[in-house]
């Protein structure tokens, strides 16, 4: 098919739920994507946080190739060796516990919501009734299915889908007093992203997370960490919670776990393992030999390639370069993040800059209207960082030049 035909087919036959950028991609290697016309792009947002190892990492490809001719799928009433191996590996690198495999981030969150409801039933002796309430934070993002959407503390995503799932409360992020006020005898779980991703790269403070852990311990509330975006070495530790000196009761994973293949997981502490009983939950595609083999390849590559070491080296370097742009342009309000999960908050809408970057061959993301979200492959090089920041610099310059309004003219310092 030619490019124009492909655009036409999308137009005619695919629902318009996404705003797409006008390029068709056919090849990816590491941090570089190639489009149908042969133009190369530096991908600093590979797969929306899926391709943490870059595109087509050889260890992941090797694992998939090895499995694909043998067995792709079998249902979960049968055993497969790769699911067993992956569960063992995940528990080893996360915490002592048990796992439910699924296919996506939203499904992992749905699973955790059901798990919290099952945990809250029966009611503890002193509570007035069943524990069922779930507290999440404003500006969180947990997915698009009804439970995950309800957990997502953003009206803009929920609008038009009423009635939502009952029993959810929302509190401002990093506000301990608000959280304390929301907790009661009916609280079954608190669901938290340690760094709100789609919400604008907002990093939870250590004091906040430690205090939440303490509240959860005292009141027998489940602390559910949504590590769908922060997991798999993104922040410089294998999971975000390792920065905070706490362990969650429940952790949700997806995105980078399968290196591009769809796999999600909910891990629960060992002592909670009997909350789910046979028949209470399930998922047809989940934990197939193929996706588990891919995830095993991902974990192997993260450790063999010393990925966390690279994140710890390149993250601060990228931040430093972006802070260099901050001193050059008044429109950059703040550069924040952890490891290679970085947000550049602007005083203006970021759409034009993000589009300009794209046309100049750099893929980043823009979230919440004014936060450029930069989450490159974790094995990127300093040279690639220099190139990306150079393109971003040129894009900001071009956009500010295009806008002739006096206010925008003043926004450039250097």
Stretch that binds ligand PLP, among 92-100, 182-190, 223-231, 336-344 (CB under 6 A): 223-231
3-state secondary structure of 254: coil
| C-beta atoms surrounding 367 within 10 Å | 18
**Residue closer to ligand PLP, measured from CB, 231 or 361:** 231
| C-beta atoms surrounding 270 within 10 Å | 11
Choose, by CB under 6 A, the member of 64, 254, 299, 389 that binds ligand PLP: 254
Q: How far apart are the first and last CA of the chain?
A: 46
**Residue closer to ligand PLP, measured from CB, 147 or 350:** 147
Stretch that binds ligand PLP, among 103-111, 160-168, 292-300, 351-359 (CB under 6 A): 103-111
Stretch that binds ligand PLP, among 78-86, 191-199, 302-310, 396-404 (CB under 6 A): 191-199
Cα 329 to Cα 154: distance, rounded to the nearest angstrom: 30
CA torsion angle 341 345 349 354 (round to 10): -40
Question: Is 409 in contact with 86 (CB distance < 8 Å)?
Answer: no
**Residue closer to ligand PLP, measured from CB, 267 or 399:** 267
Stretch that binds ligand PLP, among 114-122, 140-148, 182-190, 209-217 (CB under 6 A): 140-148
Stretch that binds ligand PLP, among 10-18, 80-88, 104-112, 358-366 (CB under 6 A): 104-112
Question: In the complex, which residue's CB is closest to ligand PLP?
Answer: 105
Cα 289 to Cα 86: distance, rounded to the nearest angstrom: 10
Choose, by CB under 6 A, the member of 102, 228, 318, 377 that binds ligand PLP: 228
Beta partners for 314?
none
Q: How far is the CB of 128 from ligand PLP (least distance, A)?
A: 31
Choose, by CB under 6 A, the member of 44, 115, 132, 141 that binds ligand PLP: 141
**Residue closer to ligand PLP, measured from CB, 34 or 283:** 283
User: In sequence order, which residues have a C-beta less than 8 Å from that of residue 264 and are 6 or more positions away?
Assistant: 101, 102, 103, 104, 105, 107, 108, 111, 228, 252, 253, 254, 257, 286
Q: Is 142 in the site for ligand PLP (CB under 6 A)?
A: yes
Q: Is 198 in the site for ligand PLP (CB under 6 A)?
A: yes
Q: Is 336 in the site for ligand PLP (CB under 6 A)?
A: no
Choose, by CB under 6 A, the member of 64, 106, 188, 335 that binds ligand PLP: 106
Question: Is 75 in contact with 286 (CB distance < 8 Å)?
Answer: no
Written as one string, the DSSP assignment of 35-82 is ETTS-EEEESSGGGTT-TT-BT-HHHHHHHHHHHTT-----TTS--HH
Q: Which residues bind ligand PLP (CB under 6 A)?
A: 104-106, 109, 141-143, 193, 197-198, 226, 228-229, 254
């Amino acid at each position: 098919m030619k490019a124009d035909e492909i655009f036409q087919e999308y137009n005619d036959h695919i629902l318009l739920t996404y705003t797409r950028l006008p390029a068709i991609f056919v090849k990816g290697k590491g941090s570089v994507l190639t489009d149908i016309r042969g133009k190369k792009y530096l991908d600093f947002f590979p797969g929306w946080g899926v391709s943490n190892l870059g595109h087509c990492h050889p260890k992941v490809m090797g694992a998939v190739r090895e499995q694909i001719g043998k067995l792709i799928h079998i249902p979960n009433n049968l055993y497969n060796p790769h699911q067993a191996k992956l569960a063992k590996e995940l528990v080893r690198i996360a915490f002592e516990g048990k796992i439910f495999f699924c296919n996506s981030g939203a499904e992992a969150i749905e699973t955790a919501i059901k798990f919290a409801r099952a945990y809250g039933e029966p009611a503890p002796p002193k509570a007035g009734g069943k524990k069922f309430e779930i507290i999440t934070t404003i500006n969180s993002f947990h997915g698009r299915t009804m439970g995950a959407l309800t957990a997502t503390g953003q009206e803009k995503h929920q609008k038009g889908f009423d009635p939502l799932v009952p029993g959810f409360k929302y509190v401002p992020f990093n506000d301990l007093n608000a959280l304390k006020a929301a907790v009661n005898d009916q609280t079954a779980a608190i669901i938290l992203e340690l760094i709100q991703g789609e919400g604008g790269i907002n990093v939870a403070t250590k004091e906040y997370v430690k205090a939440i852990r303490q509240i959860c311990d005292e009141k027998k509330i489940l602390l559910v960490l949504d590590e769908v975006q922060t997991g798999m070495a993104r922040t410089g530790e294998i999971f975000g919670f390792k920065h905070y000196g706490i362990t969650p009761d429940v952790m949700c994973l997806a995105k980078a776990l399968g290196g591009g293949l769809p796999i999600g997981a909910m891990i629960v502490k060992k002592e909670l393992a009997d909350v789910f009983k046979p028949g209470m939950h399930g998922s047809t595609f989940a934990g197939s030999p193929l996706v588990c083999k891919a995830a095993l390849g991902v974990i192997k590559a993260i450790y063999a390639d010393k990925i966390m070491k690279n994140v710890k080296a390149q993250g601060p370097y990228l931040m430093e370069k972006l802070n260099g742009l901050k001193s050059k342009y008044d429109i950059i309000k703040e550069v924040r993040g952890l490891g290679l999960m970085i947000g550049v908050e602007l005083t203006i809408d970021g759409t034009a800059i993000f589009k300009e970057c794209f046309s100049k061959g750099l893929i980043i993301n823009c979230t919440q209207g004014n936060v450029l979200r930069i989450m490159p492959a974790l094995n990127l090089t300093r040279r690639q960082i220099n190139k990306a920041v150079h393109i971003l610099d040129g894009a900001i310059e071009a956009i500010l030049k295009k806008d002739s309004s006096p206010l925008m003219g003043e926004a450039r310092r250097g």
